[in-house]
Amino acid sequence: MTSYRFVAGAVCLIGLVWSVGAVAQPADAYPARPVTIIVPFPAGGSADLNARTVAERLSVALGQPFIVENKAGASGNVGTASAAKHDAIRAQGVAHAIDYRTTDFEAEVLRLTDGEGIDIAFDAIGPTSFRKDYRLLRPGGRLICYGLSEIQSGEGRDIAAAVKGLVRMTTATMPWWKSMAIMNENKGVFGLNMLHWWDREGSLDRVVAPLADDLAAGRLEPVVAASFPFEEAAAAHRYIHERRNVGKVVLVP
């Protein structure tokens, strides 16, 4: 589908509203097709949220869909991975790849952002890195905690690491005595456990529904590293433990 495209940064989102209004005057039916607003920042950040707010209001005012598309620029996207996977994550839009095994990612992110910090962090490792992520958030930033991989060692659970992780979890991000401070810091922490979500609601419909249109239109392309039949679930887990996957590992009925 052909789209009119606007490149919008955080500082020009308000100007976008006026520019669309100005262009609309000489064309009776403008816009006659969906308009794509390209935001040169990652999804979930302040620029992205502002763009989506503007897009929603423009859609109502002009009677046409406005689609927000995130294309992070040279300084907008940081990813951590082992060195062997850097080319793969760069191909997915990561501008700055950091080897978390050999580099202090907290210090490196602060260097890359000139000490300003980041808008959003996704972390599946555990409380050891949750602390660093939280410190890296700038005002308005959010930390998404969705895993505890640091308690896993080789083929089995590392009991000592699990106990240590559970103890650290109580103070990793939002300890009870910090409720006032976290409000003053203007930061947020969000936890996500898909299994518990499924147990409570019996499906993941509310999670998937907002993505359905983009998936159907091809704007989102899930990265699948490998697929295994259910009877080879152990092999799928081994594949992940050996850190061979770049993307998701899928079990197929």
Residues 195 and 83 in one domain: yes
Domain with 245 in it: 222-253
CA 219, 224, 229, 233: dihedral to nearest 10 degrees? -130
Say if 129 falls within a structural domain.
yes
How far does Cα 180 stand from its chain's mean position?
26
pLDDT tens track for 102-114: 999 999 999 988 8
Considering the domain architecture, whether residues 100 and 22 belong to the same structural domain is answered as: no
Give the DSSP letter string of 161-183: HHHHHHHHHTTSS--GGGHHHHH
Q: Is residue 195 part of a domain?
A: yes
Give me the pLDDT at residue 5, please: 34
Provide the pLDDT confidence category of residue 234 given band limits of 50, 70 and 90.
very high
- State how far the Cα of 91 lies from the Cα of 246, in Å rounded to an integer: 11
Residues 13, 48, single domain; the answer is yes
pLDDT digits (tens, 9 = 90+) for 36-59: 776 656 666 656 666 777 778 777
Pairing mode, strands 118-123 and 137-145? parallel
Domain co-membership, 54 together with 83: no
- Do 34 and 105 lie in a common domain? no
Same domain, 123 and 165: yes
**Same-domain check for residues 48 and 155:** no
Predicted confidence at residue 133, as pLDDT, reads 92
The answer to whether residue 102 sits within a structural domain is: yes
Per residue in 176-186, pLDDT (tens digit) is 556 677 788 89
Indicate the average pLDDT of the chain.
Answer: 77
Same domain for 119 and 41? no
Selection from 34, 45, 42 nearest residue 3 by Cα:
34
The dihedrals phi and psi of 114, each to the nearest 5 degrees, come to 55, 40
Is 173 in the same domain as 92? yes
Instruction: Report CA-CA distances (Å) from 26 to 7, 30, 35, 54, 135.
Output: 21, 8, 17, 22, 50
Domain match, 97 and 196 both: yes
Q: Among candidates 122, 115, 126, which has minimal Cα distance to 42?
A: 122
Number of domains in the chain: 3
The pTM score is: 0.63
Question: 151 and 244 in one domain?
Answer: no
Is 25's pLDDT higher than 60? no
**pLDDT bucket at 1, cuts 50 / 70 / 90:** very low
Asked whether residue 217 is assigned to any structural domain, the reply reads no
Share of the chain above pLDDT 90, in %: 21
Indicate the range of 53-67, 196-210, 217-231 predicted with least confidence: 53-67
